[in-house]
Amino acid sequence: MSSRAEHSQTASGPLQTGSRELPGLRLAMFLCGFCSVSVLHGTQPLLPELATGFGVPSSSASWALSATMLALSVMLLPVGLLSDRFGRRAFLLGGLGLASLATVAAALAPRFGDLIAWRTLTGLALAGVPAVALAYLSEEVAPGIVGRSIALYAAGNALGGVSGRLAAGALGEWHSWRLSLAVIGVLGLLATLALWKLLPRERQFRPVRHSLSTSLLSVQAHWRNPELRRYFAIGFLLMGTFISLYSVIGFHLMAPPFSLSLGDTSLLFLLLLLGIPVSMFSGHLVDGRGPWLPLGGGAALMLLGLVGMLLPHLIWLGIGLVTFTLGYFFSYTASNSSVTRRAPFARGTAAGIYLSCFYAGGALVNVAAGFAWEWRGWPAVMALLITCLLLVFWLWSGMPRREQAL
């Protein structure tokens, strides 16, 4: 009798160490993080190929990534609110599944406009993953071990971001961009099936009904908070600078005097693996000293890297890109980890606004960088990105230098 009671209690409570469903949940969330980022960024190394294949300028080709990120930014907050009312699991399955289907459809697009339409749908659907994944894990896994589950999801994000871009570039050079997107979409569908099989149904979820007026008041209050507004703007500029550089550098390196291949330029995305140890170190600094030092120091490294990349030599361009990437992950981690802890209430809403600004920056600055490339080439792109970082420094200068650690 007592063993039955214990089993019932375990079945209804959060998953603990030794729970039969916990390994499956962790594998499912790793796959979810891996494939969702691959689907989101799969077109980034293919932008020069798309420009050539469809006969469009680089500023138009950039919309193959920007449309997805902009749609994602618009839907993040609404999907988060809807999941509070209707549950998490369905949004995870539906978001990844629909985004993967849209990616397969994009691979078959006969016209550039059709490609952008499917990529926009990909972003709208994909918002169900980042908006819901952390909430699902925080509710369904016991507090003492939830950090390890979130770490696996984050590791899936990191590895998916690197390997998805590498595979897309390699397949694009070997065959075509259509095969690249088709493979990424099919892998996403297989991951969705794995999620459906492995991901436990919600046990701890309790529906919350958000009134529209209350939600809008929370959003308005966060926007009126000057400290949070500073972080929203920094997130916009950091992501915009980062995505734009890694998008345009393919055009730069495939043009004379470098004339590298698509597969060669895709290898640059291996540098994103630096984000794993650097983000951990930056997070340690934020916990001990607050965000001022890693945020400002990281932005300084990014600026130094951009200046080095102005030199017309491949070796300096490589050193500059490494320096820029290290700086980005320092600054990104400091900014990202500070928002919810600084919000006085409705922290989920604050995180949603920050992520919306973050992805909107990636989309809009990326398009602006495409126009800059067409206008005056690499120097104009560098001028745009350096301006963005100078704005980051201006915002950072308004932060208290000895801000309390988080």
**Does 334 map to a domain?**
yes
Last residue of a domain, one of 181, 200, 219: 200
**Does 60 map to a domain?**
yes
- pLDDT at residue number 387: 97
Tell me the DSSP string of 67-133: HHHHHHHHHHHHHHHHHHHH-SHHHHHHHHHHHHHHHHHHHT-SSHHHHHHHHHHHHHHHTTTTTTH
Do 220 and 119 share a structural domain?
no
Do 226 and 191 share a structural domain?
no
Last residue of a domain, one of 200, 224, 243: 200
**Does 339 map to a domain?**
yes
Instruction: Report how far residue 235's alpha carbon sits from residue 351's, in angstroms, rounded to the nearest whole number.
Output: 11
Do 295 and 149 share a structural domain?
no
Do 216 and 194 share a structural domain?
no
| Number of other residues whose CB lies within 10 A of the CB of residue 176 | 15
Do 178 and 292 share a structural domain?
no
**For the chain, how many structural domains are there in total?**
2
**Does 11 map to a domain?**
no
- pLDDT at residue number 190: 95
> Which of 248, 250, 253 has its CA nearest to residue 314?
253
**Does 1 map to a domain?**
no
CATH at 288: 1.20.1250.20
Do 257 and 134 share a structural domain?
no
- Dump pLDDT digits (tens) for 278-312: 877 877 777 777 788 889 999 999 999 999 999 98
- pLDDT at residue number 405: 45
**Does 48 map to a domain?**
yes
Do 109 and 180 share a structural domain?
yes
Do 174 and 144 share a structural domain?
yes
Instruction: Report how far residue 128's alpha carbon sits from residue 93's, in angstroms, rounded to the nearest whole number.
Output: 8
Do 222 and 191 share a structural domain?
no
Do 181 and 293 share a structural domain?
no
Do 243 and 183 share a structural domain?
no
Last residue of a domain, one of 177, 200, 223: 200
Do 252 and 155 share a structural domain?
no
**Does 5 map to a domain?**
no
- pLDDT at residue number 11: 52
Instruction: Report how far residue 347's alpha carbon sits from residue 353's, in angstroms, rounded to the nearest whole number.
Output: 10
Domain residues for the domain of 283 are 210-406
Tokens of 70: 């902009």
**Does 255 map to a domain?**
yes
- pLDDT at residue number 100: 97
pLDDT tens for each residue of the chain, 406 residues long:
444 444 444 456 777 777 788 888 889 888 998 999 999 999 999 999 999 999 999 989 999 999 999 999 999 888 888 887 788 889 999 999 999 999 999 999 999 999 999 999 999 999 988 878 877 887 888 877 776 777 778 778 888 888 888 888 888 888 899 999 999 999 999 999 999 998 888 887 777 776 778 888 888 888 999 989 999 999 999 999 999 999 999 999 998 999 998 888 888 989 988 887 887 787 777 777 778 888 999 999 999 999 999 998 899 999 999 999 999 988 988 887 777 677 777 777 787 888 899 999 999 999 999 999 999 999 999 999 999 999 999 999 888 765 544 4
Tokens of 78: 């609404």
